[in-house]
Amino acid sequence: MSLFIALCGLILAGRLILKNYNPQGVLFFVGIVMMTISIFTNNATFVDKSTGWIGFDVFEYISMVFGKQSGGLGLKIMLIGGFALLMSAIGASQVMVKLTAKPLMKLNSPYLMLALAFILGQMLSLFISSATGLGLLLMATLYPVLIRLGCSKAGVASVLASTCAIEFGPGSGNSILAAQTAGLEITEYFVGEQLPIISVLIIVVAIMHAITQRFFDRNDEKNQTLEPINYEDIESEQSAPFYYVILPMLPLFFMLTFSSLGVKTINVGMATAIILSIFISLVFEFIREREVKPVFEKLQGVFDDMGKVFASVVTLIIAGQTFSMGLKSIGAIDSMLHMASSVGLSAAVIILFMALLTFIISALMGSGNAAFFSFAPMVPQIAHKIGANTVDMILPIQLSAGFGRTISPIAGVIIAVAGISGLSPFDIVRRTLIPMVSGWLLMLILTFSKGGQLEQLMPFLIVILVLSVGVGWIMKRKNNRTQLTQ
């Protein structure tokens, strides 16, 4: 019953969003309905400290999420959104574009640059573990450059939104939990288990991204939906001083320099780095303008832009969390997890099934952490029951979470990047689907080959591949029909 109710909720939300209903309203409404139903069907609770009546607790949970996001992830998103728009307003982004676009354009390969951008983002994810934070930082720095190189807005946004899809390294919460579950040190897990798989995955997914974005761009151009790029704009835009090129890179500089990689005695977080960068940028503007009033007006512009980002992006993340709580409270996630451990199949098939469930749940909830944190404690017990190695089980499950999150239209990073770029989350997800599913299938092949279990799983992998191709074909047909109708 819980799975049926969750499926109905997913179908209802999907249909309403596809019909251009306000996504925040849809996710809040369906999430609250599922949470209300769970009170009667699952005796669900939503907050640690009840208001005294369970009906009010539903809204107490939403209030709690508003408070948490406004001062945590939401604040970071608003700051980076305001900083990105400040860089454009003072001309710093244009200076960086001018300096980097000319030599890079000689390569005459914008899709090679998209592949390199993905690789760069995955390398940075070693040090910046927040998918949303890294995606938005790259939107503030690489996004304008790649646009001017001839890449489409949707193509660039899709690549930058997926730069934390392959979660690895000591800074990843999922990696730390996986290592602890497997009884390994994090460095041992990273170097011995993750690195041999990750090094291949990053290159292949980068290539798949380049191929996929090229395909979608050509298809959009054929249907006259691709925005033309005017390279003459690079010369015609008003230029800021040459030294402004350093300003967009300041947040990355502060976070990487004052961390365990540089000055270990000082630690500068993302929000602090952005506020510091805004202050330095305004000082530069004062030196250029020689007047205080226009500088203060630009500061007010940052605040105004932060408010716009809250209204369009942060509220959507909060609505997505409300929807996710509805799925969890209704009991659908627990039902799926228990099904995975109770089916009497071989060890390899159960591992594959758990990896598949993690992938699907992450896609449904928009959170890789939520799905993996639910699965990880079960793995040692299941491994002991079926006679499998815990490390061999945990690695594909852990990596599946990041891939699944990156094809979710309610994932924080997808929503945030879509909000900054002015696109729909579904515009981005349709472009991340092929690279992510391809990378996920390759990851399964590599991990099961390592464990010597690939041969018995080939029929299942072929079925998954055929289903993935079918879903992609349906999405392409639907997209073409929508474009022709428009």
The predicted pLDDT at position 384 comes to 72
d(C-alpha 159, C-alpha 118), whole Å: 6
Question: CB count, 10 Å around CB of 167?
Answer: 27
What are the residues whose beta carbons fall under 8 Å from the beta carbon of 317, sequence distance 6 or more?
Answer: 69, 73, 74, 77, 412, 415, 416
Question: CB count, 10 Å around CB of 295?
Answer: 19
The predicted pLDDT at position 234 comes to 39
Kindly give the residue spans of alpha helices, DSSP state H, lying in 162-291: 173-182, 186-188, 195-222, 233-236, 250-257, 270-289
The predicted pLDDT at position 233 comes to 41
d(C-alpha 285, C-alpha 290), whole Å: 8
- Per-residue confidence of the chain (486 residues) as pLDDT tens digits? 777 888 888 788 877 866 778 878 888 998 899 999 988 888 888 888 888 888 898 999 999 888 877 776 678 778 877 887 788 788 887 777 667 655 655 666 788 889 988 998 888 787 666 788 788 778 877 787 788 777 888 999 999 999 889 988 776 777 877 888 888 877 778 878 888 899 899 999 999 999 999 888 888 765 444 444 443 443 444 467 888 888 888 887 887 788 666 777 887 877 888 899 999 999 999 988 888 888 899 999 889 988 888 887 778 778 877 887 887 788 876 676 566 556 555 667 777 888 888 888 788 777 777 667 666 777 787 677 666 778 888 889 999 989 999 998 888 889 888 888 888 888 899 899 989 998 998 898 888 876 555 555 566 666 666 665 565 555 555 555 544 454
d(C-alpha 428, C-alpha 406), whole Å: 9
d(C-alpha 431, C-alpha 151), whole Å: 13
Distances from the Cα of 93 to the Cα of 46, 80, 137, 290, 296, angstroms: 44, 14, 13, 21, 20
pTM value?
0.65
d(C-alpha 249, C-alpha 353), whole Å: 42
Q: Which tens digits make up the pLDDT trace of 112-147? A: 889 988 998 888 787 666 788 788 778 877 787 788
Cβ pair 358, 405 in contact under 8 A:
no
